[in-house]
A and B are shown apart, each in its own frame.
Chain A
Amino acid sequence: MAYPNGARLKFACDMDKSVLVNNFEKRGWVSVGADEDWNFYWATVQSVRNIFSVENGYRLADDQVINHFPNHYELTRKDLMVKNIKRYRKDLDKEGNPLAEKDETGHYIHLDFVPVTFMLPADYNLFVEEFRKNPSSTWIMKPCGKARGIGIFLINRLSQLKKWSRDSKTNTFTAPSSKDTYVISRYIDNPLLIGGKKFDLRLYVLVTSFRPLKCYMYQLGFSRFCSVKYNANVNELDNMFVHLTNVSIQKHGEDYNAIHGGKWTVHNLRVFLEGTRGKEVSDKLFDEINWLTVHSLKAVSATGTKGAIANDRHCFETYGYDIIIDDNMKPWLIEVNASPSLTSTTAADRIMKYKLISDVINIVIPPGEMVDVKWNKVPTKENLGHFDLLYDEELAQSDLLQMPENKSRVGTGAPGANVRGKVDPRKVTGATWK
């Protein structure tokens, strides 16, 4: 792609991934080093941290964009995500916002979308209290700073936790840093099974701005299936293949199939749910997924609060959302990844990821235009590709001003109706949920 003045867009890329480089080269962009004068930088989170660090003093120009927000970890580190969502709910509750409505047992009706979670070792006593309420429950331990299923294990007795704590103490002589902290979450032990198999969802969400919030949901997400039959039997607790659907773990399983990689498109899931349970059920589920995505982002985007993501206009970010659906058709947000894997496991996977990157670029930099961080970040419908506009705070607000009757719908009724009323940017952009 050449600019009107004949110059070509310059890109830098930390990762040697074909789905990235092929996309850049197809656009005729020129490759430059990360320390040179780039317009578009696909960086690792470490590089981004360096660029934005105070010592560095690096200042980005108006024609430079980069693929991470400086403090994305507020959303993508397991402990911070939970902390921020808890705080967000409390803040809404204080405001008396109807969204923070609770039922008799004290659970949030509309905002209860992450499994009960505690930090360890900090919240150990709180956890024990909760565990004693339900002694037969299973819990999942995850190290805060690690990804791809590393260091994860399940417990269903307090003694297992004590043993773990003893073992880890003898190994370390330093004070617990964030690397040693764990989150312990209630394990979803009633997952929805398809064909008798457990699965989770990997959805891609693009954020181009946190204030005002502008986010997009990708249509081509997928479900990841365990290669081994799910069995709630306690003896199977040690068999991680049953419980974890991460492809990087499943790949080591014996039954891993290299043709489809255990991945089933979200479209297939939708066809199946609509066929077996009806359109209402399936629409409601996907509405709720959109709902939880928007609110997880709002939890880190409110102005002036601690834990808000710095809204640098040079940044955009593609998140990998991991969601589990339980057998009551309720979606649970498990975690958010800042750098969803761009390694392709199958042919279909490569095509999908190539499209993903292509669509991300077209939203961030409208085709044929120069990089300019001052543009209004409202892509045209053609440039959305396989993304759907999930929420645009600006548009939603102007919508509300235009149609005061919508106001009454905000914060009442079912989440689905809520989000629709609130988000409904259809009239402005022509983009819809579905």
Chain B
Amino acid sequence: VKKDVVQTLVKTGWERKLRNSIFCKMMSYHPPPHYAASQEHIKEPNSYIRRAQANWEKRILKSLNSMCTELSVPLARKRPEKEQKDMLGRWAELGTDEPDLSQFRPVYAPKDFLEVIASLKNPNVVDCGDNTVSSCAWGIIQAPVYVKDLHQLRLQYSEMAINQCQSGIDDGPELPSEVFEADRAKLARKVLAAKLAPATQEFAKKGIPLSHRAQMWSQILNVEVDDVDILYYEQLKTGVLQHDLLVDSLIYKDVKLTATNDDQYFVFEDYLYQVLLPFSRDTTILQHFNYSSASPAKSYIRGKLGVDEFAVNYPPNGVIPFHGFSMYVCPLCYIYNDIIHLYFVFREMYNRYFFRLHTLSSHPQVSASINSIMGIVSLCLQFERLLQTHEAILFFHLKSIGVQPLRLAFKWLIRAFSGYLSSEQVLLLWDRILAFDSLEILPVLAVAIFTFRKTNLLQVQTFSASEAVLADITTLKVIPLIQLALFSQ
């Protein structure tokens, strides 16, 4: 019987599905915590980071509440029947008829969040004033979190070495396709036919050809849209139609401020609403709070303030969008034309990676945990360390004119470069995030860009001048830059 079962599983393709699903679970697996560990310890072992995150959340909430009072709009209200119908009719073109948003403003911008990160300080590290631990660092990150050195990164990203052909470089139109492109496409089809997530991930380490990306990302993320998913999305959509939330206005405002004005992404404005509005109602997003230092904001039903049984998460997915949040979705619009598919790929990307870019965590990279994706604090420090070690002259120059490099690079990091690079390049970069299951490629690229523009940066004397040097990076090709930064010395 056992043999039969196994055989049938293999024959029907279920074995493959099971493997993929287990692989996917492994990617987000968390080792069982120590029996004595408290709930909050599991979320974030360092109490000072925990406290900082809690304070930060309080601040966001306060600003959200004051916006409510100022504009006298409720956090949530039920839409009247007529409005629901009207909205349903306009569902695919929500961008054309915008509500008046002039009073709204983003709850916070990346630079506010950077201040919070920069002020993180471990109380156990005593600054003895003898120029030891923290003062030998020139940057603004004071939290002692673990980061890798160049050698470790080189080993980690060895598949990206200069002697290995990469999609996005060696398949350019000026090269004959026999060199690499044709073989690569053949291999891609083979990998796709095998339908095994780990194989696809391995393939992605050298980049994915544009026309295979959609399928490959779905495979790595184990996203297969079925009827249940379609139904689920429809439910979320109904949720949007029934209730008007304050965060909807924030999402609108963000899209209008960013994507609508972006010459690469304005085309997809309506798609963004169709993804982000249902996203705010999606309670499965809440699960990431189990392993991040953040907690969803709570709201109470009128008149029951402070009574826990009447507490609800606000917004339902617990994520309050900040300025630029919609940029996490934009590049995906270039590969997924179907809204529902787009939605689930985005949701998975958010649950795996993006949430870490806007919540505080020390995330222990050295632990045995398979899921050890660096949080934003580590990424910031990683950037500063790499720059200080390998571009000391540049760092020193910037520091001496009062410009902290991280203040220039942070906006790139928090958005995973989306909206700064050309869409094609962002996708090539995100290939590597998925392939190596790590965000560490982001600070590496940031350092590479500083190196690339070093000559100009060494000549600037002010913050705004240095900002201007780095303002337009849409023409950069990311993979050669990363290769230079990692493997040239």
Contact = CB atoms under 8 A, between A and B. Distances in A.
B334 A275 contact: yes
Main secondary structure, interface of B, reads helix
Nearest to A274: B210
Contact of A196 (B93, B214, B261): B93
A228 interface: yes
A255 interface: yes
B210 A264 contact: no
Contact of B267 (A264, A346, A432): A264
B23 interface: no
A228 B96 contact: yes
Interface string B413-428: 0000000000110010
Contacts of B335: 275-276
Interface string B243-283: 00000000000000000111110111111000000000000
B412 interface: no
Contact of A260 (B185, B211, B263, B427): B263
Given A260-B263, A268-B264, A278 B211 contact: yes
B350 interface: no
Contacts of A280: 211
Contacts of B266: 225, 257, 260, 262, 264
Contact of B271 (A195, A259, A265): A195
A136 B179 CA distance: 52
A271 B260 contact: no
Contacts of A90: none
A274 B209 CA distance: 9
Interface string A177-208: 00000000000000000111100000000000
Nearest to B333: A195
A196 B210 contact: no
B461 interface: no
A219 to B, nearest CB: 10
A124 interface: no
Nearest to B335: A275
Given A229-B93, A276-B336, A268 B261 contact: no
B260 to A, nearest CB: 7
Nearest to B272: A195
Give the contact-size bracket for chain A: 20 to 34
A107 interface: no
A276 B270 contact: no
A197 B271 CA distance: 11
A268 B93 CA distance: 22
A271 B334 contact: yes
Contact of A274 (B92, B211, B268): B211
B395 to A, nearest CB: 32
A225 B267 CA distance: 8
B270 A268 contact: no
A386 to B, nearest CB: 13
Given A195-B333, A271-B424, A275-B334, A257 B267 contact: no
Contacts of A346: 263
Interface in A317-333: none
Contacts of A262: 266
Interface string B178-196: 0000000100000000000
A3 interface: no
Interface of B: 92-93, 96, 173, 185, 209-211, 213-214, 260-264, 266-271, 333-337, 423-424, 427
Interface of A: 194-197, 225, 228-229, 255, 257, 259-260, 262-265, 268, 271-272, 274-280, 282, 346, 348, 432, 434
Given A257-B266, A280-B211, 6 more contacts: A195-B333, A196-B92, A197-B267, A197-B270, A229-B270, A276-B337
11 contacts: A195-B269, A196-B270, A225-B267, A229-B93, A259-B263, A260-B261, A274-B211, A275-B334, A275-B427, A276-B336, A279-B210
